[in-house]
Amino acid sequence: MTLRPSPLADTAPPHIRIDRLTFDYGGARPAVDALSFDIAKGEFIGLLGPSGCGKSTTLRMFAGLLAPTSGQIMIGGQDIVSRPPWERNLGLVFQSYALFPHMTVEQNVAFGLRLRKVSKEDQRARVAEALRAVRLESYGSRWPSELSGGQQQRVAIARAIVIEPEILLLDEPLSNLDARLRDEMRFEIRDIQTRTGITTLFVTHDQQEALTMCDRIAVMNAGRLEQIGTPTDVYDRAATPFVANFIGRANNLASRLSLVDGQPVLTCDGQTLPQPLPADVPENSATGNSVAAMVRPHAIRLRPPAPDQISGTVIRRVFVGSMIEIEIRLDGGQTLIAELRPNSPDAALAHLDARVTVDWLPSDMRLFAS
Amino acid sequence: MTRLLSILGRAYVIAIFGFIFLPMLIILVISFSADSYLSFPPSGWSLKWYSTVLGNATFMAGLKNSAIIALIVAVLSLLLGLPAAYALVRMEFPGRTLIRNLILAPLVLPAMMLGLGLLMVFTPAGLVATYPGLVLAHLVMTLPFSVRILQTTLSNLGTDLEEAAMTLGARPLQTFMQITLPRLMPGVIASSSIAAILSFDEIVLSLFIVGPRLQTLPVAIYRYVDERTDPMVAVLAVLLIAISLAIVLVVERSVGFAKAFGR
Ligand SMILES: Nc1ncnc2c1ncn2[C@@H]1O[C@H](COP(=O)(O)OP(=O)(O)OP(=O)(O)O)[C@@H](O)[C@H]1O
Ligand SMILES: [Mg+2]
């Protein structure tokens, strides 16, 4: 295996740095493939990607439950890869919560403190504080089996944060909860994290969860990092077609790049896309190359039909409460989904079988070489 | 029609149970007989055969031997079976799947053949008619069961709890003692109890290994029945059943048999 150069900046070491982290179960390709990114102290990072993209594998390497095939995990400038799990001081919250069923809530939370030989008095105080942080102060003497799913999960979080871990690792902690509890817990987890200031790595395959909770999101696909950035970054400035389509809904138009009077112009099946093009036309897309143009459904505006501009026919119109969703078949045959506000002028144009021209702001379009 | 079927079904189940339990019931009745020969129904009632058994030195020595051996076998079956089960469930090594699938295979062999084999090995080793010899012979029978039961408990347990403990700072031994072992208790109780029952009731293997100086209760009963039949036999049978039943109840109470064996 050739060692790729590290894509990370060579400045002062950040709080946590993972550098070309790789894990190979022996399948067709590594489950985690040269993953690199930095995490600042106190940051809440989301690890987002479809099922099987290597999120849990990454988390297990952090926790020391899997030894990386290659690569480093640096905390405070020190590589922790060779340390066994019990010497890492990391808090891991499993999807299954993994509470010890033969211990009360209090004993569960005190487990890590007891192993650290914290005095009985301090144990009591810190357990009480952790239970207060997750709003379960009066549940200390219950057994895990006497708690609801959401409460069990909060105990698992209390047990992980009470040891004041270097980093809190959460593996899809909300996926076993019903929709309402999930919304509440999103809030609570983020709130607990803000109050304690513990650096957190939050694994999820739910883009909504990642967008609403995280300081930054690392989007993974097939073991590789596609993009890491703030929720706005990954949503509005997707770095790859995968990110654009995984996060939020997206229309992808197969288009062709050409030069008209020295200016780059995009056409889709002979019709011109809204001008001017965004500044970051893919570098390698020479004239005549095909380009994928990505536009979010909510960014699309409708105009009365205009010649040469990209136009089509409304073939479906569905009222979904807060908006009207329409599907447009472009004259070239490709289709577009648009979300319009009810009672807007755009919505008035969009009756079934109407001919319309579509438009959007240049800043709402992302171009990818294809 | 459905009614008829349901009545027939119930009758069938009752018949099966009768077939299994009627002989036991008859034995129980005969054990309280005042007659000096086996007859049903007895012509009078007494506890004299119970006191005869309790006063019989051969049977009491056999009972003591069987109890001691069953206890040792139960403990050793656990101590030897647990690491084996742990390795089979948690560790990767060549041949693992093969061993897992063949773990119950020794039980398919005719006990007669096993006994003969053991005798041929034990005679030169001086193990015949000794506690260690009988314990070893019984372990051949009980270990596959113990390993199988503990294996089932361990794989049902999963690794999440242990991994959680380790990330919280528990070393492997601490993890095993504080997390794995307490969670394994149902399997531990089940496997030890079943090992004890199997050992206590074992006769074929024991027949090869016992001698005049050391014999087990089932062997003593077998020898006695060979010569004579009187209500004392019924009393002995009742005692054997009662002891096994007591152990079964312990298991059923703590885990349930189906759960202990898995599948
Ligand atoms: N024990 C294993 N042996 C072999 N392959 C494995 C093993 N565990 C996971 N994999 C493979 O590695 C890849 C990454 O798995 P991982 O569990 O990290 O995915 P994930 O992103 O956590 O998915 P999910 O969202 O479904 O939990 C998957 O393709 C999976 O099939
Ligand atoms: Mg996973």
CB distance B246 to B200 below 8 Å: no
Helix (H, G, I), strand (E, B) or coil at B145: helix
- The residue out of A210, A245, A280 marking a domain boundary is A245
Non-local (6+) Cβ contacts of A114 within 8 A are A123
Q: Domain containing A162: what range?
A: 9-245
CA distances for B14 relative to A183, B7, B21, B25, B29, angstroms: 56, 11, 10, 15, 20
Say yes or no: A28 and A166 in one domain: yes
Task: Give the residue among A49, A23, A36, A56 at the shortest CA–CA distance from A173.
Answer: A56
Considering all CA atoms of chain B, what is the largest pairwise distance in Å, rounded to the nearest integer? 72
Residue A48 lies in a domain: yes
B167 and A111 within 8 Å at the Cβ level: the answer is no
Ion ligand 2 contact residues with beta carbon within 5 A? A 56
Of A195, A214, A245, the residue at which a domain comes to its end is A245
Q: Is residue A1 part of a domain?
A: no
- Please report whether residue A99 resides in a domain: yes
* Residue A344 reports pLDDT greater than 60: yes
Range name among A98-112, A225-239, A271-285, B14-28 with the lowest pLDDT average? A271-285
pLDDT of residue A101: 93
Quote the strand ranges of chain A, DSSP E: 16-23, 32-39, 44-48, 70-75, 78-79, 90-93, 167-171, 200-204, 216-221, 224-229, 251-260, 263-268, 271-272, 290-295, 301-303, 311-319, 324-330, 335-340, 355-359, 365-369
Measuring from atom 6 of ligand 1, which residue has the nearest CA?
A25
Whether residue A127 contacts residue A109, with contact meaning beta carbons closer than 8 Å, is answered with yes
From ligand 1's centre to the CA of B171, what distance in Å? 26
* Whether A72 contacts A33, CB under 8 Å: no
Q: What is the pLDDT of residue A7?
A: 59
Question: What pLDDT shows up at residue B258?
Answer: 54
Of residues B161, B169, B171, nearest to A112 (C-beta):
B169
pLDDT at A9: 56
Q: What residue ranges define each of the domains in chain B, with the CATH number in brackets?
A: 56-260 (1.10.3720.10)
CB contact under 8 A, B167 and A88: yes
| 3-state SS, residue A354 | coil
Asked if residue A256 and residue A238 are part of one domain, the reply reads no
Q: What is the mean pLDDT of residues B222-236?
A: 85
B114 close to B205: Cβ distance less than 8 angstroms: yes
Q: Do residue B166 and residue A94 have CB atoms under 8 angstroms apart?
A: no
Kind plus residue range of the DSSP H or E element containing B167: helix B160-167
pLDDT-derived band at A167, boundaries 50, 70, 90: very high
Closest C-alpha residue for ligand 1 atom 16: A54
Q: Are strands A335-340 and A365-369 parallel, antiparallel or unpaired?
A: unpaired
User: In chain A, whose CA is at the least distance from the CA of B180?
Assistant: A100
Average pLDDT of the segment spanning B194-219:
88
> Is the model's pTM score more than 0.80?
no
A4 within domain boundaries = no
CATH number at residue A219: 3.40.50.300
Cβ pairs A/B, distance under 8 A: 56
Pick from A64, A88, A94: which is nearest to B164 by CB?
A94
Are A256 and A213 found together in one domain?
Answer: no
Contacts of B170 in chain A (CB under 8 A): 86, 111, 115
User: A354: domain CATH number?
Assistant: 2.40.50.100
Indicate if A108 and A189 belong to the same structural domain: yes
C-alpha pair distances (Å), A264 with each of A253, A275, A284, B107: 17, 9, 13, 81
Cβ separation B166–A96 shorter than 8 A: no
Mean pLDDT of the residues in chain A: 88
Please check whether residues A40 and A186 belong to one and the same domain: yes
Question: Which amino acid type is present at position B150?
Answer: L
| Short-list A357, A322, A326, CA closest to A343 | A322
Judge whether A2 lies within some domain: no
Q: A231 to chain B nearest CA, in Å?
A: 30
What is the rounded average pLDDT of the residues A136-161? 92
Whether A45 and A97 map to the same domain: the answer is yes
Q: Is residue A3 part of a domain?
A: no
pLDDT for residue A350: 87
The CA distance from B41 to A338, in Å, is 92
Ligand 1, atom 18: nearest CA belongs to which residue? A54
pLDDT at B257: 55
Residue A64 is predicted with a pLDDT of 93
CA of A173 to the centre of ligand 2 (A): 10
What pLDDT does A45 receive?
Answer: 95
Q: Which of A182, A215, A245 is at the close of a domain?
A: A245
β-sheet with A290-295: strand ranges across: A271-272, A263-268, A251-260, A290-295, A365-369
CA distance B9 to A103: 46
The verdict on a CB contact (< 8 Å) between B182 and A88 is no
Exposure of B241 in the CB half-sphere (CA atoms within 13 A)? 13
pLDDT at A146: 93
Residues A266 and A357 in one domain: yes
- Token representation of residue B47: 């506890």
Residues A234-246 have a mean pLDDT of: 91
> How far apart are alpha carbons A107 and B120 in whole angstroms?
55
Q: What pLDDT does residue B39 have?
A: 79
Dump pLDDT digits (tens) for A65-122. 999 999 999 998 889 999 999 999 999 998 889 999 999 999 999 999 999 999 999 9
- Say yes or no: A308 and A332 in one domain: yes
What pLDDT sits at residue A2? Answer: 45
Chain A residue with CA closest to B173: the answer is: A86
Q: What angle do CA A364, A366, A367 make, to 5 degrees?
A: 145
For residues B46, B50, B56, B57, the Cα torsion angle rounded to the nearest 10 degrees is -160
Q: How many domains does chain A have?
A: 2
B183, B161 contact by CB (below 8 A): yes
On the question of pLDDT at B262 being above 60, the answer is no
Q: Which atom of ligand 1 is nearest to the CA of A57?
A: 18
- Which among A156, A149, A161, A155 is positioned nearest to A192, based on CA atoms? A161
Separation CA A213–CA A210 (nearest Å): 5
Across B197-225, b (16+ Cβ under 10 Å) vs e yields bbbbbbebbbbbbbeeebbbbbbbbeebe
In the prediction, which pLDDT does A1 show?
A: 41
Ligand 1 contacts (CB < 6 A) are A 25, 27, 31, 49, 51-57, 205
Average pLDDT over residues A162-189: 87
Residues of A near B (Cβ–Cβ under 8 Å) read 63-65, 84-92, 94, 96, 98, 100-102, 111-112, 115-116, 159-160, 163
User: Are residues A152 and A283 located together in one domain of the fold?
Assistant: no
Q: Which residue of B has its CA nearest to A99?
A: B161
CB A223 within 8 A of CB A268: no
Q: Answer with the residue of higher pLDDT: A285 or B74.
A: B74
pLDDT over threshold 80, residue B168 = yes
Is A237 part of any domain?
yes
A11 pLDDT higher than 70: no
A108: in domain: yes
Same domain, A75 and A173: yes
**In this predicted structure, what is the pLDDT of residue A362?**
85
Considering the domain architecture, whether residues A193 and A281 belong to the same structural domain is answered as no
Considering the domain architecture, whether residues A16 and A139 belong to the same structural domain is answered as yes
Q: Residue A201's closest CA among A173, A170, A228? A: A170
Contact A52, A127 (CB under 8 A): no
Cα angle value B235/B240/B244 (rounded, 5°)? 145
